[in-house]
Amino acid sequence: MWFGIKFAKGGVDYLSVSKGGRFEDAKQPKIGEAVYPYTGESGYECMPTVLSDARGPFGRNVPLAAAIRRALRDAGHATPVVTSGSITTFEQAEGILEREADCVAAARQSLADPDWFRKIRLGLGHLVRRCEFTNYCEGLDQRHKQVTCKLWDRKLDPTEPTVRLASDGKRRLLPPSWTPPSADWRHRARRLLVGSACALRIVSDQWRDCSVTLFVEGRVSMALDRSAHHVHRLSRDR
């Protein structure tokens, strides 16, 4: 808190609060190996795994960030505070943003799924590849290997010959790319809005498994049920 206030007084743009692994409590390395700061208690707190204690790994640094933020506000500083540490869902992030931090950051979840922000923004949270917090990635880092995620680094499709591999030749370096289905949806929606008659034809041809609601100037104009046989006209075309 003391440092936080000093930094705020000094005019930093924001404070990013997490916990770091320390050399002081690191495990004794094997003969010939370098000491690694994430092997002791501080390292565990920095990157808690799912095999955690009763508290679990999620949002473990948040109380620390919240306490520093409170101290800053009490001292009259509006410096934004960033928190991180096993933050992986929209609900969790939104809850933290209500009063504990001004910004949330995510390392492992972003490695597991670099598109998770976009997926959430598009309402496709069910497509997010959730980090499993077993620290496979950190284990690679510990052995000075290129960091990849176990959720996608062995997904090597032989039809993708251009995929870049890690130096061990066994793992892909980047996750498979993801294209939002919304691009296709927007294209269809444009066609839908061309006119009601045309819309009905497209709907009955292509959207047989969907429920469709057509909005005109923010009000529901038409709703189509799943069977694609009934259109309920809820307001007249204007």
- Point out which residues bind ligand FMN (CB under 6 A): 18, 20, 46-47, 84-86, 106-109, 137-138, 141, 147
State the pairing for strand pair 219-224/231-233: antiparallel
Cα Rg for the chain, rounded, in angstroms?
25
Nearer to ligand FMN, 79 or 83 (CB): 83
Q: Interior CA angle at 40 toward 37 and 44, to 5°?
A: 95
Does residue 166 belong to the site contacting ligand SF4 (CB under 6 A)?
Answer: no
Nearest to 21 by CA among 94, 85, 114: 85
Q: What is the DSSP string of 114-139?
A: TTHHHHHHTT-GGG--------HHHH
Q: In the complex with ligand FMN, which residue's Cβ is closer, 132 or 182?
A: 132
CA distance 52 to 185: 41
Distance CA 139, CA 10 (A): 37
Structural contact between residues 182 and 169, judged by C-beta atoms closer than 8 angstroms: no
18 binds, among ligand SF4, ligand FMN, none (CB under 5 to 8 A by kind): ligand FMN
Question: Counting contacts by CB under 6 A, is residue 58 touching ligand SF4?
Answer: no
Closer Cβ to ligand SF4, 123 or 139, answer by number: 139
- Give 78: exposed, middle or buried? Use CB within 10 Å, 0-12, 13-18, 19+: exposed
- Partner in contact with 93, chosen from ligand SF4, ligand FMN, none, beta carbon below 5 to 8 Å by kind: none
Lookup result for tokens 């003969």: 31
Contacted by 20, from ligand FMN, ligand SF4, none: CB < 5 to 8 Å by type: ligand FMN
- Residue closer to ligand SF4 by CB (options 79, 88) is 88
From the CB of 48, what's the least distance to ligand SF4, in Å? 11
Residue 150 in contact with ligand SF4, rule: CB under 6 A: yes
Q: How far is the CB of 47 from ligand SF4 (least distance, A)?
A: 8
Which is nearer to ligand FMN, 120 or 147 (by Cβ)? 147
Q: Is 134 an interacting residue with respect to ligand SF4 (CB under 6 A)? A: yes
Amino acid making up residue 80:
P
48 within 8 A of 112, measured Cβ to Cβ: no
121 residue type, one letter: R
Q: Given candidates 12, 82, 132, 204, which one binds ligand SF4 under the rule CB under 6 A?
A: 132
Q: Could you tell me the smallest distance in angstroms from the CB atom of residue 160 to ligand SF4? A: 20
Query: Which of 19-27, 66-74, 131-139, 156-164 is the region at the interface with ligand SF4 (rule: CB under 6 A)?
Result: 131-139
Structure tokens at 82: 């960033």
Token duo for residue 223: 């709703």
The CB-of-236 to ligand SF4 minimum distance in angstroms stands at 53
Interface ranges with ligand SF4 (CB under 6 A): 108, 111-112, 131-137, 149-151
